[in-house]
Amino acid sequence: MTTDSGAASRDSRPASTEAGRDTYVRIDRVTKKFGAFTAVRQVSLDIRRGEIFCLLGGSGCGKTTLLRMLAGFEQPTEGRLYIDGVDVTDVPPYERPVNMMFQSYALFPHMSVFENVAFGLKQDRVPKAEIRDRVAEMLALVQLQDYGARKPHQLSGGQRQRVALARALAKRPKLLLLDEPLGALDKKLRERTQFELVGIQEKLGVTFVIVTHDQEEAMVLGTRIGVMHAGEILQVGTPTDIYEYPTSRYVADFIGSVNLYEGRIVEDEPDHVRIEVPDMATTVYVDHGIAAPPTAEVAVAIRPEKIHITPYKPLEAENVVRGTIQEIAYLGDNSRYVVRLDTGKVVRVTRPNVYRHDERLAWDDSVWMHWHPSSIVVVTR
Ligand SMILES: Nc1ncnc2c1ncn2[C@@H]1O[C@H](COP(=O)(O)OP(=O)(O)OP(=O)(O)O)[C@@H](O)[C@H]1O
Ligand SMILES: [Mg+2]
């Protein structure tokens, strides 16, 4: 299972992602074993020139291992790696057009910020004046232009991380691998740096592969996202693909918040399906066909923001369920509701607080919920 195979809702996917643009990195059936343990399993992936590709997955799923193989610090057990059409599987790290910013981004403690950023350029014997210009440019990029003389121990964690980023960019690699580059930054700085990274990418045209376990970061940064789990790539797609058209229970559940219920296909037509969902004590109507055999064990997934919640019975005949509000979390911009059904299962609903004096829903209120028939994603894996 590599790319988007097994997409139950395939027919409703946008076509924009299918364009065969220029491949810059090709990972071809790569496996990495450490002794008996398989850290990366049969991963095939094409990364396009000039894109920001985000590898997203939980701790220990193999993200760093995959990145280290691209950089050349780790040798695949099986499979081949290509950069710009060249097989680099046996090429040493320093001969690849690649730079990597490590998860533990060790700066040289005895060197100043300036010297840290200049390090790779000095090694490449870049002329002094040019080094000065390029380091200044990089420090400005990460907003540390006044910190050149400081030593790493005189910086905050976030500042050190930005120095590491500047150092990784200074050599202008064609491919930049970043392992959790914004991990040490606080939320605000993280958001700003995310936009800066996108700006840097657009300006320098570098191809980025960014590892993160933060799905929001992957959504903001990534032109495309590869979701990894247990050494495998489960799905590759644009942020919209991954969020709106997950192809497996795992991806649906990992990205964002989701209501996920097991079901059984009771009506299977090319343009619609009906799925019996015991947990909701109802049959869900879906307005598109699915690519699954009638006996498949399917699950229906629906995002909390796609469910309407009202105190009165909606006019729709389909996709309506009733429940009791069990919990409300008021978050200012929106409210989150946990609604208990008669089956004992719960439905999570998010509603934006559009008006200041919004129609109030309270704990223990009896409510109705309904959703559009296109809002359901049916997954088979
Ligand atoms: N040199 C090694 N020897 C043995 N096992 C290793 C080695 N390097 C990594 N592993 C194992 O391979 C798996 C994947 O590790 P990896 O570092 O790629 O995870 P990750 O996705 O980067 O996780 P995190 O988000 O925590 O950084 C882990 O179970 C890890 O313990
Ligand atoms: Mg890691």
Mean pLDDT of the chain: 86
**Averaged pLDDT, 339-363:** 85
Structural domain boundaries of the chain?
A: 10-97+173-250, 257-376
Say which residue, 157 or 266, is predicted with more confidence.
266
Cβ-contact 276, 267 below 8 angstroms? no
The pLDDT of residue 14 is 39
For the chain, give the percent of residues with pLDDT over 70. 93
Beta-ladder partners of 326: none
| Band (292; pLDDT cuts 50, 70, 90) | confident
Q: Which ligand is nearest to the CA of 33?
A: 1
Half-sphere CA count of 139, side-chain side, radius 13 A? 20
Q: 205-237 burial, b if ≥16 CB within 10 A, otherwise e?
A: ebbbbbbbbbbebbbbbbbbbbbbbebbbbbbb
Give how far Cα 264 sits from Cα of 7, 23, 279, Å: 17, 40, 11
pLDDT digits (tens, 9 = 90+) for 243-265: 999 999 999 998 888 999 999 88
Range with the poorest average pLDDT among 151-155, 204-208, 364-368: 204-208
The pLDDT of residue 352 is 87
| Band (158; pLDDT cuts 50, 70, 90) | confident
The pLDDT of residue 6 is 36
**Averaged pLDDT, 336-346:** 93
Ligand 1 close to Cβ of residue 67 (< 6 A): no
Question: Taking 90 as the threshold, does the pLDDT of residue 326 lie above it?
Answer: yes
Question: Taking 80 as the threshold, does the pLDDT of residue 196 lie above it?
Answer: no
Question: Taking 60 as the threshold, does the pLDDT of residue 231 lie above it?
Answer: yes
**Cβ neighbours of residue 252 under 8 Å, at least 6 residues apart?**
246, 258, 260, 299, 301, 377, 379
Atom of ligand 1 nearest to the CA of 65: 18
Helices (H), 182-222: 187-204, 215-221
The pLDDT of residue 89 is 95
> Tokens at residue 29, please?
């059936």
Ligand 1 close to Cβ of residue 177 (< 6 A): no
**Cβ neighbours of residue 294 under 8 Å, at least 6 residues apart?**
265, 268
Domain 257-376 carries which CATH code?
A: 2.40.50.100
| Band (306; pLDDT cuts 50, 70, 90) | very high
Ligand 1 close to Cβ of residue 39 (< 6 A): yes
CA gap 365, 381 in Å, rounded: 36
The pLDDT of residue 13 is 33
Could you tell me the distance, in angstroms and rounded to a whole number, from the CA of residue 331 to the centre of ligand 2? 32
Q: 185-197 burial, b if ≥16 CB within 10 A, otherwise e?
A: beeebbeebbebb
Ligand 1 close to Cβ of residue 63 (< 6 A): yes
Could you tell me the distance, in angstroms and rounded to a whole number, from the CA of residue 44 to the centre of ligand 1? 19
pLDDT digits (tens, 9 = 90+) for 78-128: 999 999 999 999 999 988 989 888 766 678 999 999 999 999 899 889 999
Domain 10-97+173-250 carries which CATH code?
A: 3.40.50.300
The pLDDT of residue 381 is 82
Which of 31, 32, 33, 34 to probe ligand 1 with, by most ligand atoms within 8 A of CB?
34
Return the SS3 of 271. coil
Protein residue closest via CA to atom 3 of ligand 1: 34
pLDDT digits (tens, 9 = 90+) for 56-68: 998 999 999 999 9
pLDDT digits (tens, 9 = 90+) for 201-220: 787 788 999 998 888 889 88
Beta-ladder partners of 30: 43
Could you tell me the distance, in angstroms and rounded to a whole number, from the CA of residue 232 to the centre of ligand 1? 13
Cβ-contact 337, 351 below 8 angstroms? yes
Protein residue closest via CA to atom 29 of ligand 1: 60
Within 10 Å of residue 112's Cβ, how many Cβ atoms?
17
Long-range contacts of 180-188 (CB under 8 A, 24+ apart): 180/103, 180/211, 180/212, 180/213, 181/101, 181/105, 181/210, 182/212, 182/217, 183/103, 184/157, 184/158, 184/160, 185/157, 185/158, 185/161, 186/158
**Averaged pLDDT, 260-280:** 90
pLDDT digits (tens, 9 = 90+) for 6-25: 333 333 333 333 334 689 99
Say which residue, 185 or 343, is predicted with more confidence.
343
